[in-house]
């Protein structure tokens, strides 16, 4: 493919080189080169924007073609007689690293997460993966939870013998992200990051709650950012993800790391707001928590809260997918039931 725009052509060369080196080919969708192209689209003069946007979208389609054509090699394996007696003296056959998976499919959470990250990538957000073990500082102290604060009790966490924590929220990455992208922020480019990861809570399990689930954190910091930007960003994302206009609202809540804090709520798709078991007979489903980043959190990362402001949110990927496909019980995702999973193959 030949691109007329020099920026797009250069990005195409860089993406192709990066693609050849990737083990996980689908990771190319979140490459910073693509994100930068979409970001520059907003700065183009109006008479150049259409042609530039066409080439960027064409490059995006070309990248998808690379992914599609990157086939897993077929491997010839000798037949295995599973009825043969086990002989401990016979060394196990070393299987090849790559095995064909002719009847396999992506888990619905994995598939939908890729779509979510693609949308935020087109909105100018970088992606940084969360972690599955952390410490008290990142889990609580850096997020304005003082020692002994009663809000810590709301996070009934799993703790190892040496004091490490299985994160109960992807907000455990906020301090790291703020520090990492501080130079970019001070250079006038803003700070926009989404953080997917698995989180763990000591929950009473029901149709809406699991002890292990996937969450997506979002952080946006710049000059003169207010709650209107927060609501508009989340609404734009949700309408793009669900492919329809949505009725949303916010309601007051409390988080130590945001002020003011909100719950972001959608009308229940299961009962058309008439009330059902899934929405606790309210007609609405609380989708995620959000708010304006507390000045103490910005200070802890070395960011001036007088000059900069921002918002953050965190919500379950599982619940997003439930609402999209009308799944009535969150426990299906981790049940391993093939009848459920094959619906997404």
Q: Given this structure, which CATH class describes domain 108-344? A: alpha beta
pLDDT value at 211 more than 60: yes
pLDDT value at 200 more than 50: yes
What pLDDT score does 103 carry? 60
pLDDT value at 88 more than 50: no
3-state SS track over the chain: CCCCCHHHHHHHHHHHHHHHHCCCHHHHHHCHHHHHHHHHHCCCCHHHHHHHHHHHHHHHHHHHHHHHHCCCCCCCCCCCCCCCCCCCCCCCCCCCCCCCCCCCCCCHHHHHHHHHHHHHHHCCCEECCCCCCECHHHHCHHHCCCCCCHHHHHCCCEECCCCCEECCCHHHHHHHHHHHCHHHHHCCCCEEEEEEEEEECCCCCECCECCEEEEEEEEEEECCCCHHHHHHHHHHHHHHHHCCCCCEEEEEEEECCEEEEEEEEEECCCCCCCCCCCCCCCCEEEEEEEEEECHHHHHHCCCCCCCCEEEEEEEEHHHHHHHHHCCCCHHHHHCCCHHHHHHHC
CA distances from 269 to 322, 324, 328 (A): 10, 9, 11
Tokens read off for 222: 């710049």
Q: Convert the pLDDT of each residue in 282-299 to its tens digit.
A: 888 888 999 999 999 999
For 214-251, b/e burial (b = at least 16 CB within 10 A) is bbbbbbbbbeebeeebbbebbbebbebbeeeeeebebe
Instruction: Give the position of tokens 């725009």.
Output: 5
Q: What percent of the chain is predicted at pLDDT more than 90?
A: 33
User: Beta-carbon neighbour count of residue 336 at 10 Å?
Assistant: 8
Measured at the CA of 202, the angle between CA 196 and CA 204, to 5 degrees, comes to: 110
Cβ(327)–Cβ(319) below 8 Å: no
Measured at the CA of 40, the angle between CA 60 and CA 33, to 5 degrees, comes to: 45
What pLDDT score does 86 carry? 47
Domain regions of the chain by residue span = 6-69, 108-344
Straight-line distance from the first to the last Cα atom of the chain, in angstroms, rounded to the nearest whole number: 32
Q: Which of 15-24, 84-93, 193-202, 222-231 has the lowest mean pLDDT?
A: 84-93
What pLDDT score does 25 carry? 81
Angstrom distance (rounded) from CA 8 to CA 39: 12
State mean pLDDT over 149-154: 66
Instruction: Give the position of tokens 């810590």.
Output: 152
pLDDT band at 321 (very low <50, low <70, confident <90, very high): confident
pTM over 0.85: no
């Amino acid at each position: 493919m030949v691109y007329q725009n020099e920026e797009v052509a250069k990005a195409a060369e860089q993406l192709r080189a990066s693609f050849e080196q990737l083990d996980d080919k689908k990771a190319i969708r979140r490459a910073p080169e693509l994100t930068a192209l979409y970001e520059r689209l907003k700065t183009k003069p109006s008479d150049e924007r259409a042609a530039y946007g066409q080439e960027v979208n064409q490059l995006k389609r070309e990248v998808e073609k690379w992914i599609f054509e990157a086939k897993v090699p077929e491997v010839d394996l000798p037949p295995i007689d599973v009825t043969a007696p086990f002989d401990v003296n016979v060394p196990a056959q070393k299987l090849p690293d790559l095995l064909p998976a002719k009847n396999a499919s992506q888990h619905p959470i994995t598939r939908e997460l890729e779509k979510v990250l693609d949308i935020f990538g087109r909105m100018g957000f970088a992606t940084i993966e969360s972690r599955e073990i952390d410490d008290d500082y990142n889990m609580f102290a850096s997020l304005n939870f003082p020692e002994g604060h009663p809000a810590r009790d709301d996070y009934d966490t799993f703790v190892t013998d040496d004091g490490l924590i299985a994160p109960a929220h992807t907000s455990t990455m906020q301090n790291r992200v703020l520090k990492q992208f501080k130079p970019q922020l001070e250079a006038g480019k803003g700070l926009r990051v989404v953080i997917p990861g698995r989180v763990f809570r000591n929950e009473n399990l029901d149709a809406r709650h699991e002890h292990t689930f996937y969450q997506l954190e979002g952080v946006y910091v710049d000059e003169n950012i207010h709650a209107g930007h927060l609501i508009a960003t989340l609404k734009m994302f949700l309408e793009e993800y669900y492919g329809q206009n949505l009725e949303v609202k916010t309601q007051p809540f409390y988080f130590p790391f945001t002020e003011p804090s909100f719950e972001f709520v959608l009308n229940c798709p299961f009962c058309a707001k008439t009330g059902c078991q899934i929405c606790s007979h309210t007609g609405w489903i609380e989708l995620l928590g959000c708010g304006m980043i507390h000045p103490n959190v910005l200070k802890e990362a070395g960011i001036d809260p007088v000059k900069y402001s921002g918002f953050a949110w965190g919500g379950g990927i599982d619940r997003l997918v439930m609402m999209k496909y009308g799944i009535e019980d969150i426990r299906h995702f981790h049940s391993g039931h093939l009848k459920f999973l094959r619906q997404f193959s």
